[in-house]
Amino acid sequence: MRIACPHCGLRDLQEFTYLGDASPSRPDGLAATESAMFDYVYLRENPRGLLEELWFHNAGCRAWLAVCRDTLTHTIQSVVPANKRKKGAAA
Amino acid sequence: MSKQPLRLPNGGLVDRARTLSFRFDGKSYDGHAGDTLASALLANGVGLMGRSFKYHRPRGLLSAGPEEPNALVELRAGARREPNTRATMVELFQNLEATSQNRWPSLRFDVLSVNGLAGPALVAGFYYKTFMWPAAFWEKLYEPLIRRAAGLGRAAEFEDPDHYEKAFAFCDVLVIGAGPAGLSAALTAGRSGARVIICDEDFQLGGRLLAERREIDGRAAADWLATTLAELASLSEVRIMPRTSVYGLYDHGIYGAVERVSDHVAVPPPHQPRQRGWRIYAKRAVLAAGALERPIVFAGNDLPGVMLAGAVRAYVNRFAVLPGRKAVIFTSGDSGWATVRDLAEVGAHVAAVVDSRSEIKPEFKSLASRVGARVFAGSVVEATRGGRALRGITVRDASGKRTALACDILAVSNGWNPTLHLTSHQNGKPVWDEEIQAFVPGVLPPGLSVAGSAAGRFTLAEALQDGARLGREAASEAGFAMAAAQPAPTTDAEASELKPIWRVKGRKGKAFVDLQNDVTDKDVELAAREGFRSVEHLKRYTTLGMATDQGKTSNLSGLALMAEQTGKAICDTGTTTFRPPYTPVAIGALAGHHRGKDFRPVRLTPTHDWSREQGAVFLETGQWLRAQYYPKFTDKDWLSTVNREVLATRGGVGICDVSTLGKIDLQGTDAAEFLERVYINAWKTLPIGKARYGLMLREDGFVMDDGTTSRLGENHFLMTTTTINATKVMQHLEFCHQVLWPHLDVRMVSVSEQWAQVAVAGPRSREVLRGIVDAKHDISNEAFPYLAAREISVGGGIPARLFRISFSGELAYELAVPADYGQAMMRALMAAGQAFGITPYGLDAMSVMRIEKGHVIGSELNGQTTVRDLGLAKMMSSKKDFIGRLMAKREALVQSDRPTLVGFKPIDKGKSLSGGAHFVGIRRANKLENDEGYVTSVAYSPNLQHWIGLGFLKNGPARIGERIRAVDLVRNSEVEVEICSPVFFDHEGTRLHG
């Protein structure tokens, strides 16, 4: 696979580390509940098709990227820095 | 010539001026440059090349290419011995040494060929049925027996002496296969100026053009080939790679290829790898891999002498070898008739042509009468005769009449299967083409097009047209403007009709579907009867299509026979799909240089050379090579060295490199807020110029890492991490910032490699430092108290950072200077400390001192422990949110009987302790249910003069003073111990503040 890093260009998979589904949002703050946190930590969808995922360009610019990838074909639809993404792009 | 009895006097592409001698099964032969091992053996009249997998039947060549199922040999000897090498793909070299495999005691006489007589017992599913019970017998008895009897070749027993490389290439157009289609594609694309790579697994480029007598543009095809290759060589952006197999197609235009750099010589030339594993990144690719001819299933179709008709043409036309003196052709299509013509051309006797079709074209009839061959129309070959070589066949015509014919070569043709393997590497399903009765590529992977025979367009004219068209398209899609298309070259006429037959039902004798795995037509019938009807089940039940050839000549026959059994059409029975690799790839080519010591790089500390001068013994810890201890010749043994280092440090002063700790520089107006969120304790309250111990959790509540973080300015922090987690913590912090809280104003960078850092520990450490710290910096106890952290200078203006932190529990400092000053810093410290008896200490002494103080490291922060388990629960702030806060509160993680950090010491002070032991109560059985915890760290304390340890014990802190046993069932030891505080030395911490 190759991922088009917005900073570094088209780079080989070997430069990246995979995290997974980008959609869960951390329930921040002292008011957060244990059950919401449990869902955030453990529960993930495993869809067939488009999924917004987090990848880390560890052998490159160290950017966390939101990669919209088809889990069936590995076609990559979009790559944006995670700190600039609009949440739920794949939904 | 007499030494090569079947070599033709002229013609072919072998260089008769260069004779190469080689050995097969210990016997010497001669061949020529341009030969393969297969063609050279054939030229010498060696038809028997191996024994079959299961029945040990004699086998010879079926093919002249990568699909060869029979002629597998062990190539070379000793450490370079390579099993299961296809003789058809081995380029002959001087002094080549090959051995037949799967025979005992010799190829001609094989004891296990009686397996053939016991045939019915060895049918499909035989292993499953026979060796099922008792289960314990499988490993000890059945498997070794089967392996000895039915193995393929033997791997080398020594380390591979050659080296392998990994290489990367980028191109606009990759062309796979250098036959007429591939060469046309490369030429058209190359002319546009596109970067083109053309690979072919053969050592000679030309594909089928090398094996066929054809005309292009009214001249011999060889002329077109020479002109085309010359033009390709003249194009600077075209890279021609012979001996290179493209074995896999991966996502996003990445292709795996292996280049056999030195396989055609006995030993690689100096500095040359044996093979080179390529990763080719191509914008577009044209697959022009050709096609593989299909055999027919009939009784005795495995005798040496039964060969594919196209292979016969390759041996005759390319290698100038006559595979036999008296030939019969058995064909179901027009292409077999080309063999009649080519054999006659070189003067071979074609005794008969058996064509399963009842209508014979007039031009074939006249060809037959010209060469004096009998024609059997609407007939089949029903059986063969011969022991270790073909002696004759039985022909059965439409009326059932049988005719016996003598022959020593039977050329079989049943149409061709496109070599479409790469098109299905990404799950692409081939589709059935009724007209050519073959699977052709289905939906293609992005960026790939398929030309010529690989697309099921088998004629030379189609190959040339496809190549030119698709080469042009590929270059244009890669962004290269093209001149107007030129018409593709013309060719001589070619008949290509066909009506394949999948099997001839015979009366007796084994008819093989899969020659490599000895799967017969009866096995397929049995699989169908027993319900293994899906192709996937058929494969697993009978082993059809497995092993090194992956069914290149058998998959379709197997499918066709299953279709016949189930009464379905072939296309409804299943498809043949393929995964990488297309042909076997040596693991070495995938590993490249990453083996042995070079499996991964070793990192050296900035003070490594100094440590070596001091006589350090080094230890690999993670990626690092670190000083473990510094033996002196006066030391009795390892332990006395470690004891000396500990006592010298606690009694005076010692120094130890700690540069491997991760160091992360964090800056920004929200840096303190950021630390609050990633650490469990408070950070906003940390004054400038101070350090603090911090613990961070994973979001699931377990401890991730610890270390000290110093505040160098209002918005400037320097974090340290453990050595092992340096990378992981950096990635985690980037995640927290970029993904979780991008709005926080903080930036971070790893500075681990920029600073050399040394621990200066012991009651005299301040005095030593005074000798190198510039005079303007006051480092007195009052001005620079415990946990002070400041930017200073040393040695007359060299920037440095000084931290009053202590892992040893002594008055201690960590001093950091820019990495290049690391060695100088150590030498300066040694000089300044000489009067105080300064002593370098290594990892082992460091470990002893931290265990004496109950400080935790990776053994305790092992990913399964919580802050509570470590006895540090009160560090967790309740006034803020932080990573892992909520999950750490889960019920199971706060139960009082969780194993919790304790210290322990042997009751009998003479006893030693071992790491990894488990705590079991006195007079309790050594069983899992009595397990009360485990030992994580042990050391001999020279200060206490007995062994001490740290571990996790259920409800530990409440059990101080209790006696328990530390049981190590692995090393078979047990010691009675007393539970105590994890702090063994200087409980009040007074030494820290000295």
Q: What is the pLDDT of residues B835-863, one digit of tens each?
A: 999 999 999 999 999 999 999 998 999 99
* Residue of chain B with shortest Cα separation from A33: B886
* CA–CA gap between residue B233 and residue B345 (Å, rounded): 33
Phi-psi map region of B763: left, alpha, beta (phi>0 left; psi -120 to 50 alpha):
alpha
* CA–CA gap between residue A50 and residue A33 (Å, rounded): 30
Q: What share of chain A is helix, strand, coil (3-state, %, to 5)?
A: 15, 35, 45
Q: How far is A54 from chain B (nearest CA, A)?
A: 9
Q: Is the minimum CB–CB distance between A4 and chain B shorter than 8 Å?
A: no
CATH match of B608-660+754-849 with 3.50.50.60: no
Architecture (CATH level 2) of domain B164-291+418-477 = 3-Layer(bba) Sandwich (3.50)
Q: What is the mean pLDDT of chain B?
A: 93
- Residue B111's pLDDT band (boundaries 50, 70, 90)? low
Is there a domain that residue A52 lies in? yes
Q: Which residue has the tokens 């969780």?
A: B898
* CA–CA gap between residue B517 and residue B541 (Å, rounded): 12
| B919 in Cβ contact with B966 (< 8 Å) | yes
User: Domain total for chain A?
Assistant: 1
Are the Cβ atoms of A62 and B699 closer than 8 angstroms? Answer: no
Pick among B882, B886, B890 to test the A interface (most A CBs inside 10 A): B886
Residues of A within 8 A of B742 (CB-CB) are: 82-84
Residues of B within 8 A of A2 (CB-CB) are: 251-254, 281
Cβ neighbours of residue B635 closer than 8 Å, sequence gap 6 or more: B641, B644
Phi-psi map region of B187: left, alpha, beta (phi>0 left; psi -120 to 50 alpha):
alpha
Are the Cβ atoms of B887 and A54 closer than 8 angstroms? Answer: no
Cβ neighbours of residue B460 closer than 8 Å, sequence gap 6 or more: B180, B208, B209, B212, B214, B216, B221, B491, B494
Q: What is the pLDDT of residue B3?
A: 83
- Residue A86's pLDDT band (boundaries 50, 70, 90)? confident
Checking if the pLDDT of B550 tops 50, the result is yes
* CA–CA gap between residue B800 and residue B817 (Å, rounded): 5
Checking if the pLDDT of B144 tops 70, the result is no
Q: How far is B569 from chain A (nearest CA, A)?
A: 30
pLDDT in tens, B627-636: 999 999 999 9
Are the Cβ atoms of B887 and A29 closer than 8 angstroms? Answer: no
Looking at CATH, the fold of the domain delimited by B303-413 is given as FAD/NAD(P)-binding domain (3.50.50)
pLDDT in tens, B869-897: 999 999 999 999 999 999 999 999 999 89
Q: What is the pLDDT of residue B577?
A: 79
* Residue of chain A with shortest Cα separation from B877: A30
Is there a domain that residue A91 lies in? no
Q: What share of chain B is helix, strand, coil (3-state, %, to 5)?
A: 25, 30, 45
Q: What is the pLDDT of residue B153?
A: 81
CB hemisphere CA count around B898 (13 angstroms)? 17
Residues of A within 8 A of B886 (CB-CB) are: 32-34, 37
Total count of residues recorded for chain B = 994
Distances (CA, A) of B890 to B683, B699, B795, B894, B895: 25, 12, 53, 7, 9
Checking if the pLDDT of B89 tops 70, the result is yes
Are the Cβ atoms of B886 and A54 closer than 8 angstroms? Answer: no
* CA–CA gap between residue B327 and residue B406 (Å, rounded): 9
| B548 in Cβ contact with B155 (< 8 Å) | no
Residues of B within 8 A of A73 (CB-CB) are: 426
Q: What is the pLDDT of residue A88?
A: 47
Q: What is the pLDDT of residue B125?
A: 66
- Structure tokens of B893? 């993680």
B873-877 contact pairs (CB < 8 A, 24+): B875/B680, B875/B681, B875/B695, B876/B680, B876/B681, B877/B676, B877/B680, B877/B681, B877/B682
Looking at CATH, the fold of the domain delimited by B895-993 is given as Elongation Factor Tu (Ef-tu); domain 3 (2.40.30)
Residue B352's DSSP bridge partners are: B328, B374
* CA–CA gap between residue B341 and residue B337 (Å, rounded): 7
* Residue of chain A with shortest Cα separation from B884: A37
Q: Identify the three-state secondary structure at position B418.
A: strand
| B739 in Cβ contact with B729 (< 8 Å) | no
Checking if the pLDDT of B131 tops 60, the result is no
Alpha helices in B279-391 (DSSP H): 309-313, 337-345, 362-371
Q: What is the pLDDT of residue B1?
A: 40
Q: What is the pLDDT of residue B514?
A: 95
Is there a domain that residue A13 lies in? yes
- Nearest one of A27, A22, A23 to B887, comparing CA atoms: A27
pLDDT in tens, B802-816: 999 999 999 999 999
CATH number at residue A56: 3.30.2270.10
- Structure tokens of B421? 């393997």
| B960 in Cβ contact with B916 (< 8 Å) | no
CATH match of B662-750 with 3.30.70.1400: yes
Is there a domain that residue A90 lies in? no
Q: Where in chain B is the domain with CATH 3.30.1360.120?
A: 608-660+754-849
Architecture (CATH level 2) of domain B15-114 = Roll (3.10)
- Nearest one of B901, B930, B929, B922 to B975, comparing CA atoms: B922
pLDDT in tens, B468-501: 999 999 999 999 987 778 888 999 999 999 999 9
Residues of A within 8 A of B889 (CB-CB) are: 34
| 3-state secondary structure labels for all residues of B660-714 | CCEEEEEECCCHHHHHHHHECCCCCCCCCCEEEEEEEECCCCCEEEEEEEEEEEC
Q: How far is A29 from chain B (nearest CA, A)?
A: 5
Cβ neighbours of residue B533 closer than 8 Å, sequence gap 6 or more: B527, B562, B565, B566
Residue B578's DSSP bridge partners are: none
Checking if the pLDDT of B150 tops 60, the result is no
Q: What is the pLDDT of residue B147?
A: 52
Alpha helices in B6-70 (DSSP H): 37-43
- Nearest one of B853, B971, B870 to B913, comparing CA atoms: B971
pLDDT, average across residues B233-247: 98
Q: How far is A55 from chain B (nearest CA, A)?
A: 10
Q: Where in chain B is the domain with CATH 3.50.50.60?
A: 164-291+418-477, 303-413
Pick among B739, B878, B891 to test the A interface (most A CBs inside 10 A): B739
Is there a domain that residue A55 lies in? yes
What are residue B669's phi and psi, to 5 degrees? -65, -20
Are the Cβ atoms of B890 and A34 closer than 8 angstroms? Answer: yes
Cis upstream peptide for B58 (omega within 30°):
no
Q: Is the minimum CB–CB distance between A37 and chain B shorter than 8 Å?
A: yes
Per-position DSSP letters for B60-97, written without gaps between them = ----SSTT-SS-EEEES-GGG-EEEEEGGGPBP-TTEE
Pick among A62, A71, A84 to test the B interface (most B CBs inside 10 A): A62
Q: What is the pLDDT of residue B151?
A: 55
- Nearest one of B531, B529, B536 to B555, comparing CA atoms: B536
Q: What is the pLDDT of residue B342?
A: 96
Q: How far is B676 from chain A (nearest CA, A)?
A: 12
* CA–CA gap between residue B985 and residue B923 (Å, rounded): 31
Structural domain harbouring A21:
2-84
Q: Where in chain B is the domain with CATH 2.40.30.110?
A: 895-993
Strands (E), B591-633: 603-604, 617-621, 624-629
* CA–CA gap between residue B759 and residue B840 (Å, rounded): 10
Residues of A within 8 A of B887 (CB-CB) are: 34, 37-38, 41
Residue type, B398: A
Q: What is the pLDDT of residue B136?
A: 57
- Residue B121's pLDDT band (boundaries 50, 70, 90)? low
- Residue B154's pLDDT band (boundaries 50, 70, 90)? confident
% chain B with pLDDT above 70: 95
Phi-psi map region of B804: left, alpha, beta (phi>0 left; psi -120 to 50 alpha):
beta
The size of the A-B interface in CB pairs under 8 A is: 66
- Structure tokens of B532? 């293994």
Number of separate helices (H) and strands (E) present in chain B: 22, 50
Residues of A within 8 A of B727 (CB-CB) are: 58
Q: Which residue has the tokens 């910032």?
A: B737
Residue type, A41: V
pLDDT in tens, B515-528: 999 999 999 999 99
Q: Where in chain B is the domain with CATH 3.10.20.440?
A: 15-114
pLDDT in tens, B752-772: 999 999 999 999 999 999 999
* CA–CA gap between residue B789 and residue A5 (Å, rounded): 39
What are residue B163's phi and psi, to 5 degrees? -115, 160
- Residue B576's pLDDT band (boundaries 50, 70, 90)? confident
Checking if the pLDDT of B574 tops 90, the result is no
* CA–CA gap between residue B36 and residue B29 (Å, rounded): 13
- Residue A89's pLDDT band (boundaries 50, 70, 90)? very low
- Quick one: DSSP state of residue B5? T
- Structure tokens of B511? 């008819």
For B468, the enclosing helix (H) or strand (E) is: helix B460-477
pLDDT in tens, B53-86: 888 899 999 999 999 999 999 999 999 999 999 9
ipTM above 0.85, yes or no: yes
What is the CA angle B827-B828-B832, rounded to 5? 120
- Structure tokens of B676? 């609050």
Pick among A1, A15, A44, A64 to test the B interface (most B CBs inside 10 A): A64
- Residue B152's pLDDT band (boundaries 50, 70, 90)? confident
Q: How far is B607 from chain A (nearest CA, A)?
A: 26
